[in-house]
Amino acid sequence: MTEGKRLIIVLPSMMMIVVLLCTIFEGSLATSSVVFSLSGNAYPKGAYFVDIRIGNQAKPFELHVDTGSSLTWVKCVAPFESSTQPQEGLYKPPKQSIVQCQDPLCAAVQGKKYDCENPTDRCDYVFKYDDDSLAYGYLVKDHFHLRLFNGHATRAPLVFGCGYKQTGDFDGAGIFGLSRGSLGFLSQMHSQGLTQEVIGHCFNSRGGGFLYIGDDLVNPLEVSWTPITSTSNHGQDYGSEPVELLFDGSSTQVRGLQFVFDSGSGLSYLNQQPYQDTLDLISDALEGTPLIRTQPMTIFSICWKHNQNAIRSFDDVNNYFKSLTLNFTNVPNVKLNLPVQDYLTLVGGNVCLAILDCGPEDVENPNIIGGKRY
């Protein structure tokens, strides 16, 4: 196990993923945690959101929680718009908040080469997401109003993006970036000595849940540990070491998988061959049951219906589907169990497989555990 880089998998009544990125501070440095309530769900919303208060007026913004994003950004007033333009729901950065191109954090968003004519220019960025949507903006620094777990309130000065243009589908007021990069919310909070570099989210099966930054809610005696790796995204993502898929507790030919834990993805994905092998296991187990394949429903291509009755709850199908388990093979006895409600979803009186096929393309992150509990 690599010291200081570990992934915690715990299995309470709600699905929880906890990531510990560094060794706990030694000494007298007093840190705390921040706990956020979450709204949203995996389907049909497709995302989870947190309210963040920013600026002197502590204006709230609903941001999409995304462990796959390296930068928090908020929809804001375009720099070329006058102050008389409608600004409801948009962030308006103070003039003194603009981060200059010569700031080291600008290199974190632009790469090693600074895309500026002068070092005092603002630090612009363009992000392209997996669905080909684009987010344009520039870096600013302003206060985030946070209530710490120890009861204290803080106004943390953090760098984030003023997102003045987006193409594609962005729900909410922006992105809450929680990747491992230096611009991530977690890294900045830790660098200021406010929290330990620990992140966890807990998703309720009925939607919502909570997100926390810091280690106050982590009991090392009640969790299992496995190393994390950085498989892509310039070393900023949360990847697993090799995983074997167990079906109904038994070994399968689906092994050697490496997953990325990505709360920004509402669903989970498998590369084409592991996906087909998993589907074959499920289909074989359903032979002779009242469940039969039916037409695709919305984004879900694999669905089943009952040959007599509409499916209203998971209780109607629990006896037919078997559990899936991720067995982390490099660490003894560390498993993440996925009961029926964690890999299926109910749609229109049918039940559908909520794991999608990422296709035959050679993509960077083919196997993804999305931020969900169905």
Catalytic residues: 66, 262
* Alpha-helical regions (H) of the chain: 104-110, 185-191, 272-286, 340-343
Backbone angle region of 292, left / alpha / beta, with phi > 0 → left and psi within -120 to 50 → alpha: beta
- Contact residues for 84 (Cβ-Cβ < 8 A; gap 6+): none
Q: Would you call 25 exposed, middle or buried from its count of C-beta atoms within 10 A (0-12, 13-18, 19+)? A: middle
CB distance 371 to 203 below 8 Å: yes
Cα separation, 282 vs 304, in Å, equals 11
Three-class SS state of 350? strand
Q: How far apart are alpha carbons 334 and 207 in whole angstroms?
A: 27
- In 3D space, the residue among 176, 131, 136, 167 whose CA is nearest the CA of residue 363 turns out to be 131
- Say how far apart CA 195 and CA 192 lie, in whole Å: 8
Measure the CA–CA gap between 178 and 176, rounded to whole angstroms.
6
The answer to whether the bond into 44 is cis (omega within 30° of 0) is: yes
Quote the tokens at residue 114: 């600074």
Residue in the block written with tokens 């989210």: 201
Q: Rounded to whole angstroms, how far apart are CA atoms 322 and 245?
A: 12
Instruction: With CA atoms as reference, report the closest residue to 245 among 339, 335, 351.
Output: 335
Q: Round to whole Å and give the CA distance between 40 and 204.
A: 10
